[in-house]
Amino acid sequence: MKLLSTLSPAETMLVIDSSCSLKDMMKYTFMDLLLKRVIEIKVENKRVLARDKYAKKVEVIKSYNYVIKGKNFDKYNPKVHELIFLAPYQKSSSFKILFKHLVKLAYENAGSSKSFKSSVLNSKYLKDLLKVNLFQQVFGGMSLTQEGTRTKDEILKYLKPIDENIHNLLNGDKKKALELLLSLGGNIFLLNNLDFSLLKKINKQLLKEQKSVYNESYDTGDDWWYYFDFYDDNYAFDSYFDDFDSTIDSFDSDFDAAGCSSCDSGCSSCGGCGGCN
Amino acid sequence: MSEEEKILWNKILNFNIDDPDSSFTFTDRLCRENDWKMEYALRAILEYKKFIFLVCTSDKAQTPSDQVDQVWHLHLLYTQSYWNEFCKGILNKEIHHGPTKGVEERGLFKEQYSCTLGQYSQKFNEKPPSDIWPNPQKRISEIHFSRVNRHRYWVIPKIKFN
């Protein structure tokens, strides 16, 4: 199904269920950009002081995730809704942004669920599939056109057997599995039964063969080709699903913080002090 | 930029101003205290780093924009990060902040600010972004800031006629 390889996960979600949550749409957009290596995670290790079980101060090494420009950033042609994550890197190429700051930044850039969905709706691929009437323009929402309803059914019909069989295929017929996964582009995140660790088992020779097959049917200038980089580099990042959820969920409580922490000497109840030694 | 300057710039650029373990980081505080969006705050921090680089590599005094100055003020409050990790660990020198002594210095600061903009373009091969580095006239005229208790007061922008 060629349409799926051109739709981003957020676009597909809108066709399947236009009431989908902003959080999920943002999460899959972020993961899709990682998949295409438009952005990358850089892990930095830092020595920090922590307390051991006897409350004694000990030095430990902790890892922190930063997001930087990926190897395909400069060549990539972003869709409007992807700019919530990419805009800062377009303004300055030297940005290295703490993962949780990028999530917050994107959350701010998205505005509201309604405005983010409007930006997704801007896509040329959704033009004939979704419509917004006057009432929906005011109060939010959108509905499928006749063509959209037909496409939705086709997508679900296509995804269901893949989802049911992908686990077995990755353990058995890897060629078929790769063929199907590539046909989904970034929509692999919509599969419930995909075990990302199994993707590392796909060998390079198989990937090379698939590349030459697709060379004949796909435009070589298309952004879809960036998905090969993910399978080629064995780039694993599915753990960020949970990080993304917990970061967004923590926003409400974090921003209620009074801004004061106690310190070892002096100001224990100051209005805006961040602590002293 | 000379090779030596490139090394220094990379060290400054890679300096992590935020404590990643804090649930309310330096950048979060910068956003809250200035009513800035996260993206703008991150860009202002990057410009602050560029300013500090200019201070370190020039013999002449440099003047920041108000936005960059706000980042500097806040960083000065994080004394451990500013004096130990940044000045001592990265810059290898103490960079002191000198508040203005009054109206009589306005002309001097305007001139210094213009020189800083020039230095910026020369060192980084690009113009400073105007939303963080306004022109010298605007920099000197728009300086009337107050701390406002937003539980008690609304902030309503003045109408612009131009």
Count CB pairs under 8 A between chains A and B. Answer: 65
Q: Which residue has the tokens 């063509």?
A: A147
Does residue A255 surpass a pLDDT of 50?
Answer: no
Does residue A251 surpass a pLDDT of 70?
Answer: no
ipTM: 0.85
B38 with A104: Cβ contact below 8 A:
yes
Rama region for A67: left / alpha / beta (φ>0; ψ in -120 to 50; rest): beta
Distance from CA of A231 to the nearest CA of B (A): 30
Q: Please count the other Cβ atoms lying within 10 Å of the Cβ belonging to residue A16.
A: 16
SS (H, E, C) chain A: CHHHHHCCHHHHHHHHCCCCCHHHHHHHHHHHHHHCCCEEEEEEEEEEEEECCCCCEEEEEEEEEEEEECCCCCCCCCCHHHHHHHHHHHHCCCCCEEHHHHHHHHHHHHCCHHHHHHHHHCCHHHCCCEECCHHHHHHCCCEECHHHHHHHHHHHHHHHHHHHHHHHHHHCCHHHHHHHHHHHHHHHHHCCCCCHHHHHHCCHHHHHHHHHHHHHHCCCCCHHHHHHHHHHHCCCCCCHHHHHHHHHHHHHHHCCCCCCCCCCCCCCCCCCCCCCC
Mean pLDDT of chain A: 79
Question: Taking the CA atoms of chain B, what radius of gyration do you get in angstroms?
Answer: 17
In angstroms, rounded to a whole number, what is the distance separating the alpha carbons of residues B124 and B118? 10
Tokens of A106: 């994107």
A101 with B38: Cβ contact below 8 A:
yes
Banded model confidence at residue A221, pLDDT cuts 50, 70, 90: low
Mean pLDDT of chain B: 91
Q: Identify the pLDDT of residue A220.
A: 58
Q: Identify the pLDDT of residue A239.
A: 65
Taking a C-beta distance cutoff of 8 angstroms, is the pair A39, A85 a contact? yes
Tokens of A230: 């993910």
Q: Please count the other Cβ atoms lying within 10 Å of the Cβ belonging to residue A230.
A: 19
Residue window 11-70, chain B: list those with CB within 8 Å of chain A: 13-14, 16, 18, 20-21, 23-25, 27-29, 32-33, 37-39, 42-43, 46
Q: What percent of chain A is predicted at pLDDT more than 70? A: 78
Option in A62, A101, A250 nearest B27 (CB): A101
In angstroms, rounded to a whole number, what is the distance separating the alpha carbons of residues A11 and B142? 44
Does residue A258 surpass a pLDDT of 60?
Answer: no
Alpha carbon distances (Å) from A236 to A160, A183, B137: 24, 19, 51
When pLDDT is averaged across residues A10-22 and rounded to a whole number, the result is: 91
Alpha carbon distances (Å) from B103 to A248, B64, B107, B117, B127: 46, 17, 8, 22, 28
Does residue A69 surpass a pLDDT of 70?
Answer: yes
Tokens of A79: 């869709």
Does residue A62 surpass a pLDDT of 90?
Answer: no
Nearest residue in A to B84, CA atom:
A277
Taking a C-beta distance cutoff of 8 angstroms, is the pair A3, A125 a contact? yes
B104-126 exposure pattern, b = at least 16 Cβ within 10 A, e = fewer: eeeeebbebbebbbebbeebeee
Residue scoring higher pLDDT (A264 or B62): B62
Nearest residue in B to A49, CA atom:
B21
pLDDT in tens, chain B (162 residues): 888 999 999 999 999 999 988 889 999 999 999 999 999 999 999 999 999 999 999 988 899 999 999 999 999 999 999 999 999 999 999 999 987 767 666 677 888 999 999 999 999 999 999 999 999 988 888 878 888 888 999 989 888 776
In angstroms, rounded to a whole number, what is the distance separating the alpha carbons of residues B93 and B71? 19
